[in-house]
């Protein structure tokens, strides 16, 4: 498409959303536009930055982000001043600075709690990472754009000097992670083989990584200008691969230009397809210069939340993925009744506590009942939310709560923003039936702090693919990013409908198969 536009068409169509609506709908580490103002990206002609800044200042606006290595900046101006920017002959286009968010699910994931020693998450074998040595990966660098990383973590810190980083203004240091998301991504890529916790796809401290932190302490969202800036920073750090477990529903011409440019320079950009479970497209995954990653479970079945569309290119493990989280923020639940030990799930938001008392029936937990005072409440799911059930148990004098499912399978629950003082866990429907036969027996229930957690999301699938790309590419460093992309697609394990489809793309990424294909046929075959 010809980018030369008449003055009347300089607004990119996505600008139709009003800034006031955005300010109400979102909150996070990025600051929302003030009432009566709009945050936009202004792309301008070379050498015109000072002219644009002067016009923004004259309109009583402000520059929010100068986008590295591009003739573009994000500005916040009174909405009435937008026409003036559009009419500036130095301006190429104006577009809304759209929202970008992490792509992991907010509902808790389930899995066998980590207790001690070292576990190999199922995804490592599923993508064949255990069949290739990562000894060569010192010649590759992955750039992680996310919420930073807890670099003091017992399972990550030994990556040492191989890791560098930087941060966007207002997010905090890159080597801290207040939202846990980036640390989980990092562990999948490079959790260390040290006898502790988990191993990543590249576990032997050879791979180089660069962190660009764009989500801060309240990191629910950031902007497309921040993402474009971060991607260009990755390029400047000589990254071979950019991994992004994030996105949003609106396109950005500025973002697309950044990723298109990086592709021409040999960078392979990989992003999560999104977790809305429908046929919509998320960006940056939807750009042609970015690989879009779907999520599958341990049985290689596409996740119910994984978005499906013609942009989906490849799949990775993204359901109940065990990885690192900042030290002490994970939750390990436990439950013993009589002589029976169960494998419960943590109730998200439960305090780290232990309680021992007789197990008592608390029905569905919809009302206070002092008959459970001094006891552990056994509660059926249904009618009221989990927070209400646990709070009612607490207010009845209960010392702990076990909520069991009313449908098949384990219960993954959350207390939301409700603060409780008693430990609470979830149990499956079958466990609930067994527990009802143990009423009156001594129950010990609780939550222990952990350095590991299970997450769901295309956010979790994406680092598997990015890490495999680095692993395979390390054996063939003369291949281009585009050639590695083609080889990964052509060697993927075909799933679903034969050939490329909208749910799995070309299929599940396979490290050894990609290596074998390139060794036999050459780059990009």
pLDDT tens profile 189-198: 999 999 999 9
pLDDT given at position 220 = 72
Asked whether 369 and 362 are in contact (CB, 8 A), the reply is: yes
pLDDT given at position 12 = 59
For residue 502, is pLDDT > 80? yes
For residue 483, is pLDDT > 50? yes
7-97: which CATH number, 3.40.50.300, 3.30.70.80, 3.30.70.1140, 3.40.50.720? 3.30.70.80
The pLDDT-based confidence of 111 (bands split at 50, 70, 90) is confident
* 3-state class percentages of the chain: helix first, strand second, coil last, to nearest 5: 25, 25, 45
Alpha-carbon torsion, ordered 59, 80, 31, 259, to 10 deg:
-90
**156, 159, 192, 449 from 326: Cα distances, Å:** 10, 16, 15, 11
- What whole-number distance in Å separates Cα of residue 266 and Cα of residue 235? 10
What is the second-level CATH architecture of the domain 118-325+455-521?
3-Layer(aba) Sandwich (3.40)
Class of domain 334-449: alpha beta
The pLDDT-based confidence of 5 (bands split at 50, 70, 90) is very low
- What whole-number distance in Å separates Cα of residue 154 and Cα of residue 102? 24
pLDDT given at position 27 = 32
| Mean pLDDT over the full length of the chain | 93
Per-domain boundaries in the chain: 7-97, 118-325+455-521, 334-449
- What whole-number distance in Å separates Cα of residue 342 and Cα of residue 328? 22
Higher pLDDT, 35 or 448: 448
For residue 11, is pLDDT > 70? no
Question: Which region among 29-33, 44-48, 137-141, 494-498 has the lowest average model confidence (pLDDT)?
Answer: 29-33
Token pair 């520059």 is found at: 63
For residue 434, is pLDDT > 50? yes
pLDDT tens profile 16-72: 333 333 232 333 346 677 789 999 999 999 999 999 999 999 999 999 999 999 999
């Amino acid at each position: 498409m010809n980018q030369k536009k008449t003055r009347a068409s300089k607004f990119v169509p996505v600008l139709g959303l009003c800034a006031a609506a955005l300010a109400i709908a979102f909150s996070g580490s990025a600051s929302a536009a003030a009432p009566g103002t709009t945050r936009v990206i202004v792309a301008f002609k070379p050498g015109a930055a000072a002219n644009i800044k002067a016009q923004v200042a004259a309109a009583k606006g402000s520059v929010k982000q100068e986008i590295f290595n591009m003739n573009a900046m994000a500005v916040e101006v009174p909405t009435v001043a937008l026409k003036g920017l559009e009419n500036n002959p130095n301006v190429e286009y104006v577009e809304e600075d759209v929202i970008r968010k992490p792509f992991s699910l907010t509902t808790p994931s389930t899995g066998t709690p980590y207790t001690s020693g070292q576990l190999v998450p199922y995804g490592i074998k599923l993508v064949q990472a255990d069949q290739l040595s990562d000894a060569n990966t010192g010649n590759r660098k992955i750039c992680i754009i996310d919420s930073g990383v807890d670099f003091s973590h017992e399972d990550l810190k030994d990556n040492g000097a191989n890791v560098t980083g930087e941060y966007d203004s207002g997010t905090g240091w890159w080597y801290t992670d207040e939202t846990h998301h980036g640390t989980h991504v990092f562990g999948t890529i490079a959790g260390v083989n040290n006898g502790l916790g988990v191993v990543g796809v590249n576990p032997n401290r050879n791979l180089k990584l660069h962190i660009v932190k764009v989500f801060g302490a309240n990191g629910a969202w950031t902007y497309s200008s921040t993402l474009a800036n971060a991607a260009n920073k990755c390029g400047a750090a000589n990254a071979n691969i950019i991994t992004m477990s994030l996105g949003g529903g609106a396109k950005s011409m500025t973002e697309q230009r950044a990723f298109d440019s990086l592709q021409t320079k040999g960078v392979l950009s990989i992003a999560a397809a999104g977790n809305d479970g429908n046929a919509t497209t998320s960006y940056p995954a939807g750009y042609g210069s970015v690989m879009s990653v779907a999520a599958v479970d341990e049985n290689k079945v596409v996740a119910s939340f994984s978005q499906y569309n013609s942009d989906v290119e490849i799949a990775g493990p993204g359901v109940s993925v065990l990885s690192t989280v900042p030290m002490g923020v994970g939750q390990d639940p436990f439950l013993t009744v009589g002589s029976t030990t169960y494998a419960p799930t943590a109730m998200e938001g439960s305090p780290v506590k232990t309680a021992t008392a007789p197990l008592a029936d608390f029905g569905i937990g919809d009302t206070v009942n002092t008959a459970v005072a001094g006891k552990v409440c056994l509660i059926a799911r249904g009618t009221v939310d989990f927070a209400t059930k646990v709070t009612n148990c607490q207010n009845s004098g209960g010392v702990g709560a076990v909520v069991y499912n009313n449908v098949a399978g384990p219960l993954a629950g959350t207390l939301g923003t409700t603060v409780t003082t008693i430990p609470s866990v979830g149990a499956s429907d079958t466990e609930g039936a067994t527990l009802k036969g143990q009423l009156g027996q001594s129950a010990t229930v609780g939550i222990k702090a952990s350095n590991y957690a299970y997450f769901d999301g295309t956010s979790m699938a994406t680092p598997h693919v990015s890490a495999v790309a680095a692993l395979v590419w390390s054996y063939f460093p003369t291949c281009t990013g585009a050639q590695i992309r083609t080889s990964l697609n052509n060697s993927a394990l075909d799933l679903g409908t034969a050939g490329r489809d909208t749910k799995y793309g070309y299929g599940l990424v396979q490290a050894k198969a990609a290596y074998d294909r390139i060794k036999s046929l050459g780059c990009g075959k």
